[in-house]
Amino acid sequence: MSAASKQVTHVEVPRDGVRIRCQGVSKYYRRTAVLDAVDLEVRDGTMLGLIGPGAAGKSLLVKIICGLVAPDEGHVFIDDIDVTRLRERELQALRMRLGMVFQNYALFDFMNVGENIALPLRMEGRSSETSIRNRVAEVLEQVALPGIQDKMPRELSGGMKKRVSFVRAVVRRPPIVIYDDPTGGLDPVTSAKIFRLLSDMKAQGTTSITISHDLDGIRPLCDQWLLIEHGKTLFSGDTSAIDQCETPYVRQFWRGEPA
């Protein structure tokens, strides 16, 4: 293992407590900025709520944070490691410590549910097949989907796929998790279950970014907020600051008032 990948695997929480940091992240699409000099910081054990209307650049920003898309300008640091400077091997090592729940599930169609969930554990290569089997059964029970290991993704409803992709992201208990719209399209009962899981993860010390339009659901969970529109930051700060923010659009978005 190279020194760089070793560094990526064995990381300690930075002394200033900031586990995710974006500095001036910009991305252009046909010369228009789809992300415009975005800054953010997420401290250890806290959750940042990333909010904004559709096509604001939320999903793109978290893909850049995970190293799936390279920014055109700026830097992303995970535990003080500059993600934008890593090679593919080092990125893979970094992703081992970072769970991501994608907006569009991203389950492998050709694998059954059990294999999908076991994949991160198998890639990590630290667990026996028996402990993998037990862990998969355990996490499926936590999302009220016991015993569906043998089903194929195409046999599942949207809500079931959401829950399976959720558990696949958290099965290794990664210290950092990014949730892109974890309750989008789910019924209220299933959404409540997912928010409960997010709350449990946070109680266990997970550092996270959550993208959601369900402000009532994430309001009690998030410590900090970043509101973007057309890739620009309209608000960045904590819950009491956004409660008191007088900027008309921020007020309107935060309170769900009609235009």
Taken as a whole, the chain contains a residue count of 259
Contact between 123 and ligand ADP by CB under 6 A: the answer reads no
For residues 39 and 22, the answer to whether their CB atoms sit within 8 Å is yes
Which of 9, 24, 29, 70: binder of ligand ADP (CB under 6 A)? 29
Contact between 56 and ligand ADP by CB under 6 A: the answer reads yes
Burial pattern 195-228, b for ≥16 Cβ within 10 A else e, equals bebbeebbeeebbbbbbbebeebbeebbebbbbb
Residue 96's binding partner among ligand ADP, Mg ion, none (Cβ under 5 to 8 angstroms by kind) is none
Residue 108: what residue type? F
Please list every residue from 102 through 121 that binds Mg ion, using CB under 5 A: 103
Contact between 212 and Mg ion by CB under 5 A: the answer reads no
Which of 21, 27, 43, 161: binder of ligand ADP (CB under 6 A)? 27
CA distance 145 to 51: 29
Residue 220's binding partner among ligand ADP, Mg ion, none (Cβ under 5 to 8 angstroms by kind) is none
For residues 242 and 51, the answer to whether their CB atoms sit within 8 Å is no
Complex with ligand ADP: residue 39 or 124, whichever CB lies closer: 39
Which of 18, 25, 49, 57: binder of ligand ADP (CB under 6 A)? 57
Can you name the residues that pair with 16 across neighbouring β-strands? none
What does the binding site for ligand ADP look like in residue numbers (CB under 6 A)? 27, 29, 34, 52, 54-60, 69
